[in-house]
Structure 1
Amino acid sequence: MAMKTLLRLWATFATLLLAAPASAQAPAGYAYYEIGDVAAPTPARTAQALMLMGGGEWDRGAFRWFAERAGHGHIVVLRASGAGDAGEEIYRDIGGVLSVQTIVFSDRAAASDPRVLAILEHADGIFLAGGDQANYVRYWKGTPVARLLNAHVRKGRPIAGTSAGLAILGGTTYGAMDGGSIDSPTALADPAGPAVTLVTDFLHMPRLAHVVTDTHFNARDRLGRLIAFLAAARQKDASAIGIGVDEESALCVEADGTAKLRTRNGGFAWLVQPRGKPALKPGRPLDWEKVRVTGIGPDSGFDLTSLRVTAPVFAGMARVAGGRLFDAPKAPALAR
């Protein structure tokens, strides 16, 4: 009798563990969190879309747009630090989705874990959180996770990235593999140096093959470093251009390539289009005569296919001489 009671208690405990929304028993290499009904059928069709977020606080209208493109179904959050709090916010505060599952990677082996891959296969929308993009490169590049992220958008499903999550979506990525996050003066002083750690052949997103992305853009004065990244990228890719996104802002790209900016604080997206290819030597500062910079605001139109901007907020031709940036257009002050 005592043995039967013990078995029933153990079965009840095991059931509670499997049903728990917080971190379940996961193999070494990742932690897992879930909230909502992960088994419910997706109520609407999904659509291919990109949500390019500059970091900081989220624009909720952008997330509602993303949830709609995900068919109001199942969102998967991928990260390499933190816990399941972002999933809780998406599900409880923003709403409009059936479930959110969060996978927090701590080892490259997790990128081949069958459970992780099955969760990604089931995702209606994928959100790449902020953190350290070097960990994303180390854990995911050349793995089944990277292949599934590429396959996800080919299936007509949306993907989003904020901060480090946006940094890895471009065809050329600043991987921050030097252990830090380089600033504009340092990058312009030596764009061919070891601190400009660009990564290629990682993710392959629609219309981003020749794009280098950057984040926290105006707040951290990153125009100079994005220009330095483009100088290095153009040594191999003559078509490389840059897109920077301000904090609390999101560039929402539809399946046809048309995009609108959504922002909480009046921020912008920055389209950076240099001319030609500069000569680079390790240890030497950058010289580059013509770099067009265009500001995309909430009332602007932007086509990621043609790179055409209608109603730009600002536009101008910057130049770099001796590693110093001149004539860069100034963005209007952000609303606070």
Structure 2
Amino acid sequence: MALPSIAEAKVTRYRQGSSADVSRTSWNGPAYTMNGSGAIVPATMTSAINAIRGGSGSIDVTVLAASAASGSPTPECDVISGLSNVNSCTTYVLTSTQDASNTQVNTDIRNSEFVYFAGGNQCNYAHWKGTPLEASVESVVAKGGGVGGGSAGTHINSSIVYDACTASTDSATALANPYDRSVTFTTGMFSWPNYGDTINDSHFVTRDRMGRTMAFVARAIKDGLTSSGKAWGVGVEEGGSLFVDNNGLAILSGQDAYVVLGDHQPEQAVSGKPLTFSDFKIWHLRPGDTYDFRNRPTCGYYTRSVTNGVADSNLYSGTAVC
């Protein structure tokens, strides 16, 4: 691994692998990975690499972090660099919003074929909205590359981002008042093909986040944050990862995931009052299962409701209605 170099003040760059970028005119993505915790899941990362390269060549990867990791400064690249068909992996630690305008950062992103947002605090990533970095990441997807992330990095890749910029909420708080100060969103940042009207959540079962995702979905519909009048919460458990291909088909690896659809206006979602929302449609995905984000399914779900801030029991399991 190369020694860290400073491109500009506050920007730390680590490069592993080849010092020269791959040169190629076209790629076969986009491809995405949405991880329930910060770590790389080799199975879905390998799927993304292979989808992007289309059976030939190798790719360059850029990892973006807003804070330094404990232990190795490059935990994501340490894994990625050991996978087949990776030409290089570059880690950047960016500690201020201004760093998103750094010339070297944006050059490396645009020359890469996959960008991975590390775990941490998604509010730091939300502050990159409207910066050259946002446009650079979008250019990678547009050329047929890919994007992904873990934990906070998963949050930033949905079209409606729970940004946690005032505080981190939990299920009890969000259900008791979906307009609590801890429930804030960033919109108009990334909008990936086939992945519209989504709100990602992470550490899903371990931290009992079904209730807060239900509140996020209700808020998105009530506030008109979606293009369809519906909202899909996508919750991935720790160790789980969704690989989404260029046709919008997701396949799950590692641990369970859930898709939570709200398809009507909430019966009650107002500031200072508990949420009431009937019949969320919930798909429980297990490793190996698929979900089609381009042609979203109309069967295979179970339903759960929230009444005056109290959710039904057995939120994480149920019998499919069709």
Render the CA deviation track for 1:45-91: whole Å, top value 9, x for unaligned: 44211111111554322221122234331100011112323212221
Q: Could you say if the C-alpha distance between residues 309 and 269 of structure 1 is closer, same or farther in structure 2, counting changes exceeding 3 Å?
A: farther
Q: Secondary structure at the match of 1:330?
A: coil
Map of 1:252 onto structure 2: 243
The alignment status of 1:195 with 2:182, answered yes or no, reads yes
Compute the displacement of 1:42 (Å). 5.3
Map of 1:51 onto structure 2: 33
Aligned length: 304
What letter is aligned with 1:119? Answer: D
Runs of at least 5 residues in structure 2 that lack an aligned partner in the other structure: none
Query: What does 1:1-336 align with in structure 2 at a 5 Å threshold?
Result: 21-41=2-22, 45-55=27-37, 57-71=39-53, 72-82=58-68, 83-92=73-82, 94-138=83-127, 140-178=128-166, 180-235=167-222, 236=224, 237=226, 238-263=229-254, 267-278=255-266, 279-308=268-297, 315-331=301-317
- The answer to whether the Cα contact below 8 Å between 1:251 and 1:259 also exists between their aligned partners in 2 is yes
Q: Could you say if the C-alpha distance between residues 275 and 67 of structure 1 is closer, same or farther in structure 2, counting changes exceeding 3 Å?
A: closer
Q: What is the aligned-residue identity percentage?
A: 28
- The answer to whether the Cα contact below 8 Å between 1:288 and 1:321 also exists between their aligned partners in 2 is yes
Moved more, 297-306 or 183-192: 297-306
TM-score by length of 2: 0.88
TM-score by length of 1: 0.85
Compute the displacement of 1:151 (Å). 2.2
What letter is aligned with 1:105? Answer: L
Q: Which has the larger radius of gyration?
A: 1
- In structure 2, what is the Cα distance between the partners aligned to 1:239 and 1:219? 26
Render the CA deviation track for 1:98-141: whole Å, top value 9, x for unaligned: 11001111011111111111111101111111100011112x11
Render the CA deviation track for 1:181-236: whole Å, top value 9, x for unaligned: 21100111110222101111111211222111111111111110001011111121
Q: Could you say if the C-alpha distance between residues 309 and 23 of structure 1 is closer, same or farther in structure 2, counting changes exceeding 3 Å?
A: farther
Q: Secondary structure at the match of 1:98?
A: strand
- In structure 2, what is the Cα distance between the partners aligned to 1:168 and 1:57? 16
Q: Give the root-mean-square deviation of aligned CA atoms.
A: 2.0
Q: Which has the higher helix share?
A: 1
